[in-house]
Amino acid sequence: MAHNPRTPAQQPFNSFTEFYPYYLSEHGSPVCRALHYVGSLSALSIVIYALASGHYLLLAVALIAGYGPAWIGHFFFEHNKPATFKYPLWSFMGDWVMLWDFLRGRLKAKMPGHVRQ
């Protein structure tokens, strides 16, 4: 597992810029990251459909579709607690920034330490 540059027990993060390296350190497993991408894109698809179709109850399903795979990744592959529990807003932002970094081929350079294969 990648070395955590900072632990949640330390002082709270003052910005997302400070938080993001910690967030990435909690996502060293490629399987965990892939499950995050699947969850985020599934949730986005459901939100778009729910808003376009007027089926607003599907927004609850989007939460499950988004967080379910990510949490499976943490509990079964990463073996840590999701950052969502302590930093819900920054963790949500981290999911999308991590996905964007991955899609642009910039994630590996931003990962603390080395990325597990």
pLDDT at 33 over 60: yes
Residue 113, pLDDT score: 75
Structure pTM? 0.84
Residue 93 exposure: Cα atoms within 13 Å on the Cβ side: 12
Confidence of residue 39 (pLDDT cuts 50, 70, 90): very high
pLDDT in tens, 47-96: 999 999 999 999 999 999 999 999 999 999 999 999 999 999 999 999 99
Q: Using CA atoms in the order 21, 79, 87, 72, what is the torsion angle rounded to 10 degrees?
A: 110
